[in-house]
Amino acid sequence: MAVSTSAQAQSPRAERTVRLQIRPNTTLRVQGTPALTLPAPGQPAETPDGAATYALTTNTGAPKEIRASLDEALPLGLSLEVKVGAPESRGRGATSDGWKALRPSAERVVHDIQKSSDSGVPITYRAVATAQAAPEDYRVTVTYTITGSN
């Protein structure tokens, strides 16, 4: 009686398909606690380099902009401006809108942001007071929001 055995050959390799899904993500973080001391009425003060920065990550190609606003109006005789640097975007570069007066209504400070992953992008504040501003310590909250370009 003859017995026949056939061994099934095992392949040294196997394949598997893996599905990867990347979700749209946009994150904005502001860092630093800037403080300004105004020397005298009419003389502006500006934050030093590095006093405030932001980090931005976005993986969507739709143009975006950053807007800034104050939590409340400043007292009479006091003004605060901001200059927000533009991140180094892949593709088309973003553009800073330069110095912008801060108020409770949101002002565009950077526009045309494309895909980006940057940190340490500078934010500079400048304040000036007239003689009408009372000599005291003021605290204001600046809110930064990233939105689709309008």
Looking at the domain that runs over 26-148, which CATH code has it been given? 2.60.40
pLDDT in tens, the chain (150 residues): 555 555 666 789 999 999 999 888 899 999 999 999 998 999 999 999 899 999 999 988 789 999 999 999 999 999 999 999 999 865 568 999 999 999 999 999 999 998 888 999 999 999 999 999 999 999 999 999 999 865
Domain boundaries, the chain: 26-148
> C-alpha 112: how far from its chain's center?
13
Determine contact, residues 26/61, Cβ cutoff 8 Å: no
User: Six-digit token pair at 48?
Assistant: 């030093």
pTM metric for this prediction: 0.84
d(CA 90, CA 56): 13
Computed on alpha carbons and rounded to an integer, the radius of gyration of the chain in Å comes to: 27
Tokens 């409340």 found at: 72
Q: Where are the beta strands (DSSP E) in 2-141?
A: 26-31, 45-46, 53-58, 64-70, 78-84, 95-96, 100-101, 107-113, 116-129
Walk across the sheet containing 107-113 and list its strands: 95-96, 107-113, 64-70, 142-148
d(CA 97, CA 84): 8
